[in-house]
Structure 1
Amino acid sequence: MLVSLPPNGGVRLGRRRGEGGRVATDVVEIRNALGRMRRTTGLPVAFGGLVESGRRQVRISELSGTATGALSALAVTSGNGLGGKAIALTRPCAVTDYSASRQISHEYDRPVAAEGLRSVLAVPVVVRRRVRGVLYGALRAAHPLGDRTLSAAVDAARDVAEALLLREEAGELLAAARPEPAREPADAPAWERVREAHAALRALAPRIEDAALRDELLRACGLLAAGHGEGPGVRLAPREVDVLACVAAGATNAMAAEKLGVGPETVKGYLRSAMRKLGAATRGEAVVAARRAGRLP
């Protein structure tokens, strides 16, 4: 029997995808997700890997709970086997008895049998409508995999997708934020793009778990704002700058709260504190004062 979740049950994050990537870090995300999936599902075996660059196939690189190396480095092509079907459909699939299933092709029966796997699920990691990897979970007995198990596997894949998306967005914003030699302060459209990038970077940085990448983002923010102040600097807390950057980009308190992952009342508190430090009576005055102080571009 083949179980396919509906299209909206897949792990999808729908924004444009950049070409940058950190393969080693992405592999770590896969590895950690497999461990979480085994803990939450109780499945004894989990394995997975990333889609190889420029190809429609996943290379199995991470194994957890396996007894042999039969699945190591296995290349799973789109459309072939259970994982290939999940890639082609971009949604999770599961079989109760892998070798006997009539719903999948059987190019990989030998390594699957060598590991003694029967019931298997495969969940694609989909970022910006492209499959970036696949997570597998398996039993060594032909027992149906329930909805809770499938849902937990989908959650693990979603965690990977979110981490990859954050990293890609961070890389794109860093690239957009790098100063261009020909850019002049009088170029209003260019400066608006700089300010938008600054606000996006400030909102994104707290969500990045990679400390080195987070520090790089914050350094980029500092470079964007530095050198444009006309008055003495003002000591603002990081979150006060985050809120002001959102306000400068035209966000309401509710919009800023959503971007920063905090409550609207928290945003109001940071904004009031920043306005007091800047001697501003309105949101607009606070933004102007922060720019003059060199805290915003």
Structure 2
Amino acid sequence: MTTSETTAEVRRALAKLRGAAGVPLSFGGEVVDGKRLRMTELLGTTTTSLLGLVVAEGKGLGGRAIGVRKPVVLPDYYTSDAISHHFDRAVQAEGVRSVMAVPVIVHRTVRAVLYGAVREHVRFGDRSVTAMVEVARDLEQELAVRAEVRRRLDLLAPEPGAAPPGKPADLEAVRESHAELRRIAAAIEDPGLRARIDAVCQSLTGDAGRGPRPSLSARELDVLEGAAAGQTNADIAEALGLGPETVKSYLRNAMRKLDAKTRLQAVNAARRANLLP
């Protein structure tokens, strides 16, 4: 995942954090090498005193959050002896008084730090702290998903839109990756990333130029993918976040379009039509 993508996700999380935790200020940034935060995102601030700060592990509030790998809450930043005070001048210029910081950890590495703050002496309630932690956890999941997507895309099709010259020897690995990418795409809100995943999924099915193909919806393909992997309707429903009856409906539609009478026939027909690898 690129730095620009991570920064954009951090910015969205900070915007969400202000409303969820009920704080007027939120700021943060990406952590490099799991140890050094660069402050790039400021929301609700009136100065740029915090912008561009580089916060190393163990330094200040953010550095402590990186070091202990858990949320740190300070009702009064200035009188706290729980942190070093390397950045007091910048914090004072912004007028921050009470502040909390939550590390965002993906695959055991701190990827970002989110701050929520107010300009008064307050004790953050459990609701505010919990809300902030939940925003951080959502960001962790998003970054983890994007990292997995990038890993699979780089493995299967290094260049966007470029089809591999032929099907790899390990066809089962291709089918597994194809199925996982489709499940990930179904849960991603970013249309650009989803379109790239769809393009790679299509490239993995082989040459599409051998004639007209049945027109299956994305969900019908998702359900067929699960059927191809040997999943039951209940398994498919759980994986896709659908109801069992909805899965049955998608499967019936796919079978009708593929002129198939059984699940196996539908899967084989989809593969012959290069709809599945």
TM over 0.5: yes
Residue 40, structure 1, aligned to residue 20, structure 2:
yes
Identity of aligned residues (%): 48
Contact 1:117 1:140 in 2 (8 A): yes
**Change over 3 Å in CA distance of 1:265–1:129 after alignment to 2:** farther
**What is residue 56 of structure 2 aligned with on the other side?**
77
**Change over 3 Å in CA distance of 1:177–1:261 after alignment to 2:** farther
> In structure 2, what residue type is equivalent to 1:80?
K
- The equivalent position to 2:228 in structure 1, one of 245, 248, 258, is 248
Residue 164, structure 1, aligned to residue 143, structure 2:
yes
Contact 1:231 1:292 in 2 (8 A): no
Aligned residues: 272
Q: Residues of 1 paired with 2:238 and 2:86: CA distance?
A: 46
1:38-74 deviations in Å (ceiling 9; x for gaps) = 122221211100012x361110111111122211111
Across the aligned residues of Structure 1 and Structure 2, the Cα RMSD in angstroms comes to: 2.1
**What is residue 210 of structure 1 aligned with on the other side?**
190
> In structure 1, what residue type is equivalent to 2:49?
A
Q: Residues of 2 paired with 1:245 and 1:182: CA distance?
A: 21
Q: Residues of 1 paired with 2:247 and 2:154: CA distance?
A: 28
- The equivalent position to 1:127 in structure 2, one of 106, 110, 130, is 106
| Correspondences of 1:1-297 after superposition (within 5 Å) | 21-52=1-32, 54=33, 56-178=35-157, 181=165, 183=167, 187=169, 190-227=170-207, 233-297=213-277
Contact 2:164 2:204 in 1 (8 A): no
Q: Residues of 1 paired with 2:271 and 2:252: CA distance?
A: 17
Contact 1:228 1:292 in 2 (8 A): no
Could you tell which deviates more after superposition, 270-279 or 173-182? 173-182
**What is residue 9 of structure 1 aligned with on the other side?**
none
**Change over 3 Å in CA distance of 1:119–1:55 after alignment to 2:** same
Contact 1:80 1:106 in 2 (8 A): yes
**What is residue 10 of structure 1 aligned with on the other side?**
none
Secondary structure, counterpart of 1:100 in structure 2: coil
Q: Residues of 2 paired with 1:76 and 1:122: CA distance?
A: 13
Q: Residues of 1 paired with 2:202 and 2:164: CA distance?
A: 16
Q: Residues of 2 paired with 1:229 and 1:202: CA distance?
A: 22
Contact 1:47 1:136 in 2 (8 A): yes
> In structure 2, what residue type is equivalent to 1:255?
D
Contact 2:71 2:103 in 1 (8 A): yes
5+ unaligned residues in a row in structure 2: which ranges? 158-162
Q: Residues of 1 paired with 2:239 and 2:66: CA distance?
A: 31
Cα deviation, residue 177, structure 1: 2.5
Contact 1:177 1:198 in 2 (8 A): no
Q: Residues of 2 paired with 1:249 and 1:272: CA distance?
A: 17
Q: Residues of 2 paired with 1:195 and 1:141: CA distance?
A: 56
> In structure 2, what residue type is equivalent to 1:191?
L
Contact 1:49 1:61 in 2 (8 A): yes
Query: 4+ runs of 1 displaced by more than 4 Å?
Result: 179-184, 228-232
**What is residue 16 of structure 1 aligned with on the other side?**
none
Q: Residues of 2 paired with 1:71 and 1:88: CA distance?
A: 20
Q: Could you state the TM-score of these two structures normalised by the residue count of structure 1? A: 0.84
Q: Residues of 1 paired with 2:172 and 2:196: CA distance?
A: 22
**Change over 3 Å in CA distance of 1:261–1:177 after alignment to 2:** farther
1:129-168 deviations in Å (ceiling 9; x for gaps) = 2111011011212211111111111122223222222221
Cα deviation, residue 250, structure 1: 2.6
